[in-house]
């Protein structure tokens, strides 16, 4: 089975995320470590951010890595595992609010494709970049 990074690279619509993960130096972590649950924002999700936001982050890898780590949780959490969970703690160490009913929502984003299996975890595709706080 391919790793989280391989899936992101091979699937269309994640080029911004892949570029960000590379700029932040997190490729090795997500390719070999784990298991992780990754909430993966699509290119459209990144495009919703106001102008300049992504550029400033890409110019500053540690700060970008921090935002990306907020999208990653230790352990494999499939949608079914999350039905009785209100929050997960991200690798950034801030909490992520989760709802599975009526819609599968992660903080203020909606999961558009759930439970994509990778050999070191699981990916849920989301329609917004999520932010701490």
Partner 1 sequence: MTTATLTATLPPSTHEFSEVIHRLEAGGSMLPDTPDNLKQIIGIYKAYAVPMDFYWRDLLYIAEQVFLNPLPAFKYFISEEYLDRPNAYAGDTADLRIWRGEADAHPELRAFMEKGEVNRKLPKLLHHLWHDRVNMEFAEACMEAMLWHEDINPGFNAYLDSEEYKQNSDRAIRAYFKGNPAMLGLYKLFPEMFLEQVKKLSYYANLGLFWEVMAPVFFEMSDLYDEGKMTTVPEAMEFLVNGIFAVAGRPIYHHVYIDGECYEIIPKSQAFTWLYEAALPYVEAVFYRTAPFRGTKSYNAQAGQIPADQKDFHYGILYADVFPVGSAGIPPTLLMQDMLHFLPDYLVEEYQKHGRGEDDMLIQLGITFQRSMYNVTSAVIQALRTALLYPLDDPNPEHLKANRQFFEQQIDRFKRPEARLRDVQDQSYR
The reply to whether 89 sits near partner 1 by the rule CB under 8 A is no
Q: Spell out, one character per residue from 58 to 77, where the chain touches partner 1: x when CB under 8 A holds, - when not.
A: -xx-xxxxxx----------
Indicate the residue among 12 and 101 with the shorter CB distance to partner 1. 101
Out of 8, 38, 40, 57, the only residue in the binding site for partner 1 (CB under 8 A) is 57
Per-residue b or e along 108-129, where b marks 16 or more CB atoms closer than 10 Å to that residue's CB: ebebeebebebebbbbbbbbbb
The reply to whether 131 sits near partner 1 by the rule CB under 8 A is yes
CA 29 vs CA 18, 67, 69: distances in Å: 13, 15, 11
* Least gap, CB of 74 to partner 1 (angstroms): 18
Indicate the residue among 21 and 65 with the shorter CB distance to partner 1. 65
Indicate the residue among 63 and 89 with the shorter CB distance to partner 1. 63
Spatial separation of the C-alpha atoms in residues 129 and 109, rounded to whole Å:
7
Token pair in block for residue 74 = 């230790």
The reply to whether 52 sits near partner 1 by the rule CB under 8 A is yes
DSSP alpha helix (H) spans, the chain:
4-10, 15-23, 27-32, 43-47, 53-59, 61-69
Residues that bind partner 1 (CB under 8 A): 49-53, 55-57, 59-60, 62-67, 107-108, 131-133
């Amino acid at each position: 089975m391919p790793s989280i990074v391989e899936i992101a690279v091979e699937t269309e619509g994640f080029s911004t995320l892949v570029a960000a993960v590379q700029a932040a130096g997190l490729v090795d972590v997500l390719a070999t470590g784990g298991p992780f649950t990754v909430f993966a924002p699509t290119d459209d999700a990144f495009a919703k951010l106001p102008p300049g936001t992504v550029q400033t982050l890409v110019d500053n890898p540690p700060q970008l890595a921090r935002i990306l780590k907020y999208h990653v949780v230790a352990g494999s959490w499939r949608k079914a595992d999350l039905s009785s969970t209100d929050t997960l703690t991200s690798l950034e160490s801030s909490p992520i609010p989760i709802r599975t009913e009526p819609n599968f929502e992660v903080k203020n984003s909606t999961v558009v494709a759930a439970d994509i299996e990778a050999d070191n975890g699981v990916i849920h595709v989301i329609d917004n970049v999520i932010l701490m706080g």
